[in-house]
Chains A and B, each alone.
Chain A
Amino acid sequence: SQQGEEDPQALSIQEGENATMNCSYKTSINNLQWYRQNSGRGLVHLILIRSNEREKHSGRLRVTLDTSKKSSSLLITASRAADTASYFCATDNNAGNMLTFGGGTRLMVKP
């Protein structure tokens, strides 16, 4: 079974708007990661947040982590058409040797 589950499954917004995606997971983690996948391509790493961190920024990306609720969110500010892609959260197991992905959020940014 999947450790992480993203919400919503699909999101459609206008260019310039902010996009928020959420991820929930089931068991304790060492870190949580977010990845992006353009259609027909491999996944690209966006950001990693450790279990003792609450918020992290990278350019237009903001990730939060709430370990008490076992949830994370990815915020993309001032979205662009080029941000159209699928976004996945991934969590590791306690042993730190397996990374489990959620089902992803499909984001469409309309010009």
Chain B
Amino acid sequence: NAGVTQTPKFQVLKTGQSMTLQCAQDMNHEYMSWYRQDPGMGLRLIHYSVGAGITDQGEVPNGYNVSRSTTEDFPLRLLSAAPSQTSVYFCASSHGGLGELFFGEGSRLTVL
């Protein structure tokens, strides 16, 4: 099993551009989530999904959209990138209820 796979690993955007961070898991996990990690801030939850077709907002959802059309995939869309969205983004998944989270290796995004 590959676990949780995130692409791309690195991305540079200009202010106002849009892009999608991809996340896929092959563990048949119902729960998936997106976090951002900023220096000294720990991880903050952006959006999460408890199953295909169901998404909900986390702590810092503004500027981001998600969808969950399949169990495996949970893409994160930046609609109009801003420098404040420069961060490292992590996708994570969990089986059943909110137990152990399995994390991807992260996507480092820089917005100029």
Question: What residues make up the interface of A, taking CB atoms closer than 8 Å to B?
Answer: 2, 31, 33, 35, 40-45, 48, 88, 90, 92, 96-104
Which of A2, A99, A101, A103 is within 8 Å of B98, CB to CB?
Answer: A99
Interface of B is mostly: strand
Question: What residues make up the interface of B, taking CB atoms closer than 8 Å to A?
Answer: 4, 31, 33, 35, 40-45, 48, 50, 56, 58-59, 90, 92, 97-106
Distance in angstroms from B43 CB to nearest chain A CB is: 4
Given contacts A43-B101, A97-B98, 7 further A-B contacts (CB under 8 A): A2-B42, A43-B43, A97-B56, A98-B45, A99-B45, A100-B59, A101-B43
Interface centre among B33, B35, B43 (most CB of A within 10 A): B43
Interface centre among A42, A96, A97, A100 (most CB of B within 10 A): A42
Chain B residues within 8 Å of A41, by CB? 105-106
Query: Within the assembled complex, what's the spacing in Å between the Cα atoms of A92 and B56?
Result: 15
B106 — nearest CB in chain A belongs to which residue?
A: A42
In the complex, the answer to whether A42 meets B40 with C-beta atoms within 8 Å is no
A45 — nearest CB in chain B belongs to which residue?
A: B100
Chain B residues within 8 Å of A42, by CB? 4, 90, 103-106
B58 — nearest CB in chain A belongs to which residue?
A: A98
